[in-house]
Amino acid sequence: MKITKVEAIPFAIPYRKPLRFASGEVTEAAHVLVRVHTDDGLVGVAEAPPRPFTYGETQASIVAAVCGLFADLVIGLSPLEREQVRVRLGRTVGNPTAKAAIDMALWDLAGQSLGVSVTELLGGYGDRMRVAHMVGFAEPAEMVAEAGRVREQYGISTFKVKVGRRPILLDVSACRALREAMPDAELYIDGNRGWTAAEAARALRAMADLDLLFAEELCPADDVLGRRWLVGQSGIPMYADESVPTPGDVTRELLGGSATGVSIKTARTGFTGSHRVLAQCEGLGVEVVMGNQIDGQLGSLCSLAFGAAFEATSRQAGELSNFLDMADDLLTEPLEIRDGLLRVREAPGLGIDIDASKLAHYRTDR
């Protein structure tokens, strides 16, 4: 089986309501669908979400990287030669979501050709994950109302609360209101680098009684000493997200004492790189969470496929619900969260079937 063609198709699907956080906001899912074709008629798929505020990539740059740089490097290879692909793509710096989408599409092809799911191929630990929902910036009462709606409708009881605003009291009030409204819920916070280390320390002190699971990326990665100082005084684990886009960054952050947990995002490290990150974290005795790159259903299925495959990634609820904010999606069979759970598809590969008429409607290159 040989790769014959690689496509990168930009599309845009509106959000019902924007998601706002300290480093930016998302009002539409302007993503890139990556399709890898083979000579025996199989097609592997994945999606790349441009996040300029996190990786510097745009929709146009992802299309350009996939079509102009990467396609020629993988055409002619077998989809099973994933390490060849990783090395060849690795010669270009950056472009994490473009590379990750190609990697995940290859795993999809491997699963399809062997007749097994990607979850079974990767590790086969389980067939489901608990779902965590991300609550974006709004007035505290609105944030409480959203979390309540999501709990009521989907049975989700783990919430990641976006913080990093100034004054910090706004976020402290929102977290306190959420805790009061939901005494049994699991809550954690994500600052998207919005605070200084001193602000973060004050905010953590003010929220010390809220039983937060952990805090993610409260200050910029370049605040090297400030982050170490913060870790030293925090009563809860401090997770790295934007500061760990590669396995090397994971090593630097963990051994440098700037983080004590890691958010694994398949959108940026694919399945191959995410497996390496997971192995590093397990080897060092560090907890992980399956994060979300504000993925659509396709990207969420990829996070789920990876997260369910391993015990360590199945422990905590995975961030798998951002697609709920989208007005539509591309799959013929939509994802359904029930009782706070998402189940892995049993079909071979990722089990993804793209609705051709929806793709024709939402693609922006024609």
Q: Which of residues 102-161 bind ligand MUC (CB under 6 A)?
A: none
353 carries an active-site annotation: no
User: Which x/- pattern, by CB under 5 A, does the window 217-256 give for Mg ion?
Assistant: ------------------------x---------------
Q: Quick one: what does residue 21 bind among ligand MUC, Mg ion, none, with the CB cut-off 5 to 8 Å set by partner type?
A: ligand MUC
Asked if 190 interacts with Mg ion (CB under 5 A), we say: yes
Query: Please, which residue, 108 or 319, has the CB nearer to ligand MUC?
Result: 319
- Catalytic residue status for 2: no
For Mg ion, the closer CB: 136 or 349: 136
316 a catalytic residue: no
Among the listed residues 199, 241, 253, 329, the single catalytic one is 241
* Least distance CB 319 / ligand MUC (angstroms): 7
Asked if residue 292 binds ligand MUC (CB under 6 A), the reply is: yes
CA–CA dist 284, 251 (Å, integer): 9
Identify which of residues 197 and 344 has a Cβ nearer to Mg ion in the complex: 197
Selected catalytic residue, list 216, 253, 319, 325: 216
Using CB under 6 A, count the residues that bind ligand MUC: 12
Q: For this structure, is 233 an active site residue?
A: no
| Shortest Å, Cβ 225 to Mg ion | 22
**Pairing outcome for strands 287-290 and 24-38:** unpaired
- Residue with the CB atom nearest ligand MUC in the bound state: 54
216 part of the active site: yes
The one among 97, 293, 297, 316 contacting ligand MUC by CB under 6 A: 293
Q: Which long-range contacts (CB under 8 A, 24 or more apart) does 273-279 make?
A: 273/86, 273/100, 273/103, 273/246, 273/247, 274/306, 275/122, 275/306, 276/247, 277/244, 277/247, 277/250, 278/310, 278/312, 278/313
Q: How far apart are CA 342 and CA 217, in angstroms?
A: 26
Q: Which of 31, 51, 82, 130: binder of ligand MUC (CB under 6 A)?
A: 51
Q: How far is the CB of 55 from ligand MUC (least distance, A)?
A: 8
Catalytic residue among 99, 265, 295, 325: 265
Amino acid at 23: S
Chain residues 294-333 in contact with ligand MUC, contact rule CB under 6 A: 294
295 binds Mg ion (CB under 5 A): no
Asked about 199 being catalytic, the answer comes back as no
Which span sits near ligand MUC by CB under 6 A: 3-11, 98-106, 139-147, 291-299? 291-299
Query: Which residues sit at the interface with ligand MUC, rule CB under 6 A?
Result: 21, 23, 51, 54, 190, 192, 241-242, 291-294
Q: Could you list the active site residues? A: 162, 190, 216, 241, 265, 293
Give the binding site for Mg ion (CB under 5 A).
Answer: 190, 216, 241
